Amino acid sequence: MLIAGNWKMFKGPAAARAFFEGFEPPADVDVVFCPPFTSLEAALESGRTVYAQNVHWESQGPYTGEVSPEMLVELGVAGALVGHSERRQLFGETDEMVARRARTALDAGLGVIACVGETLEQRESGDTELVLKIQVEAIAFAAGDRENLVIAYEPVWAIGTGKTATPEQAEEAHAFIKGLLDRPVLYGGSVKPENAAELLSQPSIDGALVGGASLEPDSFAAICRAASTS
């Protein structure tokens, strides 16, 4: 079971160090942290597994604001998120861009958590499976069935809204994704200590990508404990 905490644009280096002083997860759960770029080094000091929140597809060049896989490897970072719904929705990242990021990161030896998911409009129009098929197949075509590749299903309508897919909705989507690409699939979308156990008990859910609830040591540790007993 893999539990990943995406800190988004929260926690500078000092706050990151303070978090790890109070964080005690169970030993039998794989835990990954995705802090902002400025806090990567501070997070690495904890000895925990650290992923970046994004990565570019070129090793160097005139790409202001981007960070290459080789830079992350040199820093000691173990992997990267790609294709988070906020990157897709707010910054215009396309399926092609997400796939290129995933492929290049994997080629550099990094682990990858590649995010997919539908909007509320797409779900209500009955297009969930079509959207997931397009997104997952783009990643599969570029990156293949790699050992270090994990998919995260995050329904866009459940990101930062407090809404959560029902366990049945999540299980259905996860099973569909696994039918397209045989890799572990995490659930992301308002995961909290209160709903984690029920979500993580579903047979096709292999862990969680946690946003807001990963910012506090106690709440994130509670989610990790729920994973330990699932």
Per residue in 83-120, pLDDT (tens digit) is 999 999 999 999 999 999 999 999 999 999 999 999 88
Give the integer Cα–Cα distance in Å for 228 and 197.
Answer: 9
What CATH number does the domain containing 225 carry? 3.20.20.70
pLDDT for res 25: 92
pLDDT for res 51: 98
pLDDT for res 159: 73
Per-residue pLDDT of 144-154, as tens digits, reads 888 999 999 99
Give the integer Cα–Cα distance in Å for 34 and 43.
Answer: 9
Q: What is the mean pLDDT of residues 44-60?
A: 97
CA distances from 45 to 14, 18, 73, 108 (A): 12, 12, 15, 22
Q: Quick one: pLDDT band at residue 157, thresholds 50, 70, 90?
A: confident
- Check 86, 118, 154, 171 and give the catalytic one: 154
Q: Is 216 among the catalytic positions?
A: no
Q: Among 48, 34, 53, 43, which Cα is nearest to 15's?
A: 43
Q: Is 56 among the catalytic positions?
A: no
pLDDT for res 61: 97
Helix (H, G, I), strand (E, B) or coil at 210: strand
HSE-up of residue 19 (Cα within 13 Å, Cβ side): 29
pLDDT for res 24: 93
Q: What is the mean pLDDT of residues 26-55?
A: 97
Rg for the chain, CA atoms, rounded:
16
Q: Quick one: pLDDT band at residue 190, thresholds 50, 70, 90?
A: confident
Here the tokens at position 48 are 């925990």
- Check 84, 93, 118, 174 and give the catalytic one: 84
Q: What is the mean pLDDT of residues 119-145?
A: 92
Q: What is the mean pLDDT of residues 56-81?
A: 97
pTM, entire model = 0.95
Q: What is the mean pLDDT of residues 46-64?
A: 97
Q: Which residue has the tokens 């861009």?
A: 97
Q: What is the mean pLDDT of residues 4-18?
A: 98
Q: Range with the lowest mean pLDDT among 51-60, 120-129, 170-179?
A: 120-129
Which residues are registered as beta bridge partners of 80? 52, 112
Question: How many domains is the chain partitioned into structurally?
Answer: 1
pLDDT for res 150: 98
pLDDT for res 230: 76
User: Has residue 77 got a pLDDT over 90?
Assistant: yes
> Which residue spans within the chain are E strands per DSSP?
2-6, 30-34, 49-52, 79-82, 111-116, 149-153, 185-188, 207-210
Give the integer Cα–Cα distance in Å for 185 and 204.
Answer: 7
- Domain coverage including residue 18: 2-229
